């Protein structure tokens, strides 16, 4: 019994360092064999593949959601319209000014273009001549011309859409009422990502939404790409994926053509809303072409026609090749005592149209100007651009430029002709500051002045 309760050296030996050494020994696993190493590598690789596939599947599944939430940022194809030669199509008594002629560096390219267009026109004239030979009487000839124009009008109408702004208002009882109007629009470009439509500015101004309706009955919501308050025009865009393939496939693009080639006596189609109703058409002839009509910040070529025209709903002038060569604008209408309609040629408007189509703001200077004539120079005026009128409230007006000033410099460029100033203004971004050097007449001759003009937006 005494042994069981003993506290002697036998029990104390359990706590000694020698008897507890085995507890402090580090247990080391035996090294892996080559087969075990290979097996573990295969397992790790398998998990890597599994996680990679899972991540790829998750990314593919999440991509549409992310694109829908934040929008796609793919680079869109920029819209560009061909440049035209102002010298084409002019008749005796309707000559273009010297400054409108192409430079020598462009002569070869322009000659090739003219040759190609002339060859195409000869084919058209030859086909028309053969068709006319089949008709002997004048009545048969008239019917043939009528059929040609009817076909041209039908083809032009295939590129016209109805643009409807919807504005919400309240009736006398406070109930919301939707007011809808209809404007004509012309499809001017088509890409995989968007359809671009030229329409009246009133169709998109002060509205909550804009709906575009096509001839097939399909409709889609539009977004504003660019606007021009001076000419009261706008470019809107819709996503073609919102339309049936049938609608997109049968849609005609009224590509901007060469309005410099339009001559007096040409047969022409007025599409859009020439009588105030969309999808109405009319056809007639060009009665007169008027070159270099001065408007603020530039010039246009006015096309006088016997066709009907509605300046509020939108009317577009289409040539026999099916290209857009003119459009109606409240800025340019018939003068008092004149009959017929006046359209703005599209060629001089292509630069502005290109900016609007690409979402670039159109710069605004705000002055009427012309070249200093030889007679003015003989009376002491310097070479440059003569300001005939400054638009009230415009950037030029705010900077202090006055009628009678002669602009001789803009930025770092010497201004000798109005095309120099037009080119400088078209390359200047809205919101930026442009240095203008001008000569102002006084009692002791012309004095040099400098202005800082903050370019606005049309």
Residue 407: count other Cβ atoms within 10 Å of its Cβ: 25
Q: b/e string for 254-286 if b means 16 or more Cβ within 10 A? A: bbbbbbbbbebebebbbbbbbeeebebbbbbeb
Q: How far apart are CA 406 and CA 94, in angstroms?
A: 27
List, for residues 3-18, the tens digit of each pLDDT value: 444 444 444 444 444 5
Identify whether 21 is part of a domain: no
Q: Kindly state whether residue 391 falls inside one of the protein's structural domains.
A: yes
Per-residue model confidence (pLDDT) at position 284: 93
Domain end among 250, 271, 297: 250
Confidence of residue 145 (pLDDT cuts 50, 70, 90): confident
The CATH number given to whatever domain includes residue 176 is: 2.40.10.10
In a domain, 46, yes or no: no
Convert the pLDDT of each residue in 347-399 to its tens digit.
Answer: 999 999 999 999 999 999 999 999 999 999 999 999 999 999 999 999 999 99
Who contacts 387 (Cβ-Cβ below 8 Å, separation ≥6)?
A: 367, 368, 369, 396, 401, 402, 403, 404, 405, 406, 407, 438
Domain boundary among 211, 227, 250: 250
Average pLDDT over the chain, rounded to an integer: 82
Residue 386 lies in a domain: yes
Q: Any idea how long the chain is? A: 458
pLDDT, one tens digit per residue, over 242-294 is 999 999 999 999 999 999 999 999 999 999 999 999 999 999 999 999 999 99
- Helix/strand number for the chain, H first, E second: 10, 22
Full domain range(s) for residue 168: 160-250
Q: Tell me whether residue 137 is in a domain.
A: no
Asked if residues 274 and 280 have their Cβ atoms less than 8 Å apart, the reply is: yes
Please classify residue 290 by burial: count the beta carbons closer than 10 Å to its beta carbon, then call 0-12 exposed, 13-18 middle and 19+ buried: middle
Q: Do 244 and 216 touch, CB atoms closer than 8 A?
A: yes
Q: Is the pLDDT of residue 450 over 90?
A: yes
Q: Is residue 118's pLDDT more than 80?
A: no
Domain end (from 186, 215, 250): 250
Cα→Cα distances 324→160, 316, 344, Å: 11, 7, 11
Question: How many folded domains does the chain comprise?
Answer: 2
């Amino acid at each position: 019994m005494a042994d069981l309760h003993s506290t002697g050296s036998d029990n104390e030996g359990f706590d000694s360092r020698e008897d507890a050494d085995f507890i402090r020994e580090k247990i080391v696993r035996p090294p892996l064999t080559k087969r075990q190493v290979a097996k573990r590598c295969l397992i790790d690789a398998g998990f890597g593949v599994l996680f990679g596939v899972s991540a790829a599947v998750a990314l593919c599944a999440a991509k549409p959601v992310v694109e829908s939430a934040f929008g796609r940022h793919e680079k869109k194809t920029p819209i560009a319209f061909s440049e035209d030669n102002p010298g084409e199509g002019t008749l005796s008594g309707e000559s273009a000014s010297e400054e409108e002629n192409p430079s020598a560096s462009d002569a070869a390219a322009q000659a090739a273009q003219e040759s190609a267009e002339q060859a195409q026109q000869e084919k058209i004239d030859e086909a028309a001549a053969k068709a006319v030979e089949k008709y002997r009487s004048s009545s048969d000839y008239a019917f043939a011309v009528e059929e040609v124009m009817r076909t041209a009008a039908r083809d032009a109408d295939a590129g016209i859409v109805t643009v409807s702004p919807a504005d919400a208002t309240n009736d006398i009882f406070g109930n919301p009422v939707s007011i809808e109007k209809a404007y004509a629009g012309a499809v001017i470009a088509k890409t995989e990502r968007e359809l671009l439509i030229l329409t009246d500015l009133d169709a998109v101004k002060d509205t909550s939404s804009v709906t575009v309706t096509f001839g097939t009955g399909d409709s889609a919501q539009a977004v504003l790409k660019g606007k021009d308050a001076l000419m009261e025009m706008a470019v809107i865009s819709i996503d073609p994926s919102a339309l049936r393939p049938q609608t997109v496939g049968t849609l005609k693009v009224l590509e901007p053509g060469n309005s410099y080639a339009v001559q007096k006596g040409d047969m022409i189609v007025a599409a859009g809303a020439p009588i105030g109703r969309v999808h109405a058409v009319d056809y007639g002839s060009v009665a007169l072409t008027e070159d270099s009509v001065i408007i603020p910040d530039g010039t246009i070529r006015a096309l006088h026609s016997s066709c009907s025209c509605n300046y509020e709903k939108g009317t577009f002038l289409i040539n026999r090749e099916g290209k857009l060569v003119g459009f109606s604008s409240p800025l340019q209408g018939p003068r008092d005592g004149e009959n017929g309609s006046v359209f703005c040629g599209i060629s001089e408007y292509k630069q502005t149209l290109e900016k609007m189509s690409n979402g670039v703001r159109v710069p605004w200077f705000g002055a009427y100007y012309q070249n200093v004539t030889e007679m003015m120079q003989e009376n002491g005026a310097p070479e440059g651009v003569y300001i005939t009128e400054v638009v009230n409230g415009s950037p030029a007006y705010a900077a202090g430029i006055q009628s009678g000033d002669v602009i001789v410099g803009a930025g770092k460029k010497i201004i000798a002709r109005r095309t120099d100033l037009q080119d400088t203004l078209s390359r200047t971004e809205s919101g930026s500051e442009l240095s203008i050097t001008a000569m102002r007449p006084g009692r002791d001759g012309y004095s040099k002045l400098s202005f800082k003009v903050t370019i606005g937006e049309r």
